[in-house]
């Protein structure tokens, strides 16, 4: 019986002698449920935000109005195919219309627009609405075409000046009947990529150029009409 009791005590002693298994220490949680902080960037990483370059976004480029292209330098020829040079003479009993059939000239352009205008007219090419008047106008009473076969105009200044239907004021020297006088007149000038258009109507006094025949029977002012549609 005593032997049996000793056998029962052996497992109890063994159990008491073994140390208790240690439990793993739990990791302390951040107070208040605080989220875990992100890791710092590694050395060499570019932690700074990239700066925007100076280029506009597509929308900014679309919203920005495009600047008009500057005018290009060039020239346009003046001739009877693209130009009319007409005149109107009046008298108490009515009026007569005429024009020139032969002339040459040119229009020079720079980045700002028209810079120069020149015209050379064959005076003997004048035409009027009465055959007898044509012969009379060519005599020394008027144009005296044998003595002064040429008339000319050279612009000395072309200034932007919008008034009524005009866009510019053209100033220059008109040589007619051997007399050179400075004149100025309004004109509408339009310069496009492929053409130059010019139109003007103004008056001159014929006596300023030595044409004094028929005072009292023929009016002093003569209307000049010019129309140019020249390709560049």
Q: What pLDDT score does 170 carry?
A: 98
Write down the residue that tokens 């220490």 correspond to.
25
- The ranges of the chain with pLDDT < 50 are 1-9, 11-24, 28, 30-41, 43-62, 64-69
Q: What pLDDT score does 164 carry?
A: 85
For residue 131, the SS3 value is helix
Q: How far apart are CA 127 and CA 146, in angstroms?
A: 16
Write down the residue that tokens 């200034």 correspond to.
159
Domains in the chain (CATH in brackets) are: 74-231 (2.40.128.110)
DSSP character for 216? Answer: T
Q: What pLDDT score does 72 carry?
A: 67
């Amino acid at each position: 019986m005593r032997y049996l009791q000793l056998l029962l005590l052996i497992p109890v002693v063994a159990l008491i002698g073994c140390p208790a298994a240690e439990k793993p220490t739990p990791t302390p949680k951040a107070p208040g449920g605080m989220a875990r902080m992100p890791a710092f960037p590694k050395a060499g990483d570019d932690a700074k935000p990239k700066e925007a370059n100076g280029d506009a976004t597509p929308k900014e480029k679309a919203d920005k109005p495009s600047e008009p292209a500057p005018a290009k330098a060039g020239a346009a020829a003046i001739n009877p195919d693209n130009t009319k040079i007409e005149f109107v003479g009046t008298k108490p009993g009515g009026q007569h219309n005429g024009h020139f059939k032969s002339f040459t000239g040119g229009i020079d352009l720079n980045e700002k627009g028209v810079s120069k205008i020149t015209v050379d007219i064959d005076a003997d090419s004048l035409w009027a609405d009465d055959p007898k008047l044509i012969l009379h106008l060519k005599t020394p009473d008027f144009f005296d075409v044998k003595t002064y076969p040429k008339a000319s105009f050279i612009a000395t200044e072309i200034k932007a000046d919008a008034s009524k239907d005009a866009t510019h004021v053209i100033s220059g020297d008109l040589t007619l009947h051997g007399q050179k006088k400075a004149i100025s007149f309004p004109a509408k000038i339009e310069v496009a990529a492929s053409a130059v258009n010019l139109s003007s109507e103004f008056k001159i006094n014929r006596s300023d150029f030595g044409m004094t025949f028929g005072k009292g029977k023929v009016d002093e002012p003569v209307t000049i009409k010019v129309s140019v549609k020249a390709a560049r």
